[in-house]
Structure 1
Amino acid sequence: MGRVVDGLFKAAEAVLAALLLAMVLMVFGNVVLRYAFNGGITVSEELSRFCFVWLVFIGAVVAMREGAHLGMDTLVARLAPRGQRLCRIANELLVIACCAMFFWGTVRQHEVNATNSAPVTGLSMIWVFGIAYVTSLGIGLLAAHQLWRVISGRMPDAELVAIRETEETLPAAPRPAQELRA
């Protein structure tokens, strides 16, 4: 099962790279066309915005898996393991509740988005806002898995504080010998 999930997230990272490449090509191409030929491709402006929305929403799921979302661990890190465990349970329950509201809101807006068309491409706007289904389910399932790990005792105490260290708090990399002599 772990290999399947790893494969899904590798595929998600490939989609993110493709979306970023498409955005760069469309925006850069439009800049060159406007500067050099006093024209542009109107469709590329809209499609690059759609790519950006998908990039952000899919990236949020990948960041959730990697524990890369912003957080504040000042209080939680100072608690005993029992307090950290309770805070982690509360955290995961709140994330699941937010994902449920996000999913339900998307369901409620589905008909409106499906019947509206993008101004330039004419695509149904559900192609833009429908990514909320993927994001709410993805983050919700990841949070449910973490909640199950905490409740079942499979999460070690070292993982109870969900925030990763930033580069500022990591030890500095050794400097090359040439820089030290100067």
Structure 2
Amino acid sequence: MNLPIAHGRFQRLTHVLMAACLAVMAVAVFINVVLRYGFGSGIAASEELSRLLFVWMVFIGAAAAYPAGEHMAFTSLVGMLQKRPAAFAAMTALIRVLVILACVLVAWGAWQQVVVGMDSRSVVLRYPSALLPLPALLAAVAIGVMALVELVKREPLDLGHTAEVE
């Protein structure tokens, strides 16, 4: 499969998933507010569902932001190396290795939380508590794989942040 096509499909999928999470959260919270203020009762599951979907939405967004180059970047120092191709390539590789290392650490910690959460359930909806740290694990794996592919392909860093103050 062509990489730009795969990138476009990944972006569309993540945007659809984030929109679905946001839509369900908005409807659940709206209904809960109407029931609480209008009728003096509410749906206890609304808060738990919204919290779960918010966590998933954040980590789906983090994975979607990586290939789009939308994570926070401090490009001033690396940008000065653009006139020295060897130094720029070495710094690019170092940055990608550090991203992969950070992903491994996040994935390892998230995996430990998933294992701990398998034996417990949420209070109201009774879903496995492992569903809360699972998106962190999946996002770390996705970002780590993308960074590894960029490292192997020796793709240059996108320093397109020139208009922003960093």
- 9, 12, 21: which one aligns with 2:11: 9
- Kindly tell me the number of residue pairs found equivalent between the two proteins: 161
Distance in structure 2 (CA, Å) of the matches to 1:55 and 1:120: 21
Shift of 1:168: 5.5
- 122, 126, 131: which one aligns with 1:118: 122
Unaligned runs of 5+ in 1: 170-182
User: RMSD value over aligned CA atoms?
Assistant: 1.9
Report the structure number with the largest CA radius of gyration.
1
Matched, 1:19 2:21: yes
CA offsets 1:87-117 (integer angstroms, 9 cap, x no match): 1111110111111122222333332111111
Q: Which residue of 1 aligns with 2:32?
A: 30
Identity %: 34
Does the Cα contact within 8 Å between 2:52 and 2:132 map onto a contact in 1?
yes
Distance in structure 2 (CA, Å) of the matches to 1:38 and 1:59: 35
Does the Cα contact within 8 Å between 1:92 and 1:144 map onto a contact in 2?
yes
The one-letter code sitting in structure 1 at the alignment partner of 2:22 is L
Distance in structure 1 (CA, Å) of the matches to 2:34 and 2:25: 14
Unaligned runs of 5+ in 2: none
What TM-score, normalized to structure 2?
0.87
Shift of 1:166: 7.3
Does the Cα contact within 8 Å between 2:75 and 2:161 map onto a contact in 1?
no
Shift of 1:19: 0.4
Shift of 1:84: 2.0
C-alpha distance 130-82 of structure 1, shift in aligned 2 (>3 A): same
Q: Which residue of 2 aligns with 1:108?
A: 112
Distance in structure 2 (CA, Å) of the matches to 1:12 and 1:38: 37
- 128, 131, 146: which one aligns with 1:142: 146
Does the Cα contact within 8 Å between 1:68 and 1:163 map onto a contact in 2?
no
Q: Which residue of 2 aligns with 1:72?
A: 74
CA offsets 1:52-105 (integer angstroms, 9 cap, x no match): 000000100000010000011111111223222221111110111111122222
Does the Cα contact within 8 Å between 2:22 and 2:53 map onto a contact in 1?
yes
Distance in structure 1 (CA, Å) of the matches to 2:116 and 2:152: 36
What TM-score, normalized to structure 1?
0.80
SS at match of 2:87: helix
The one-letter code sitting in structure 2 at the alignment partner of 1:20 is L
- 156, 161, 164: which one aligns with 1:165: 161
Distance in structure 2 (CA, Å) of the matches to 1:166 and 1:13: 26
Distance in structure 1 (CA, Å) of the matches to 2:98 and 2:85: 20
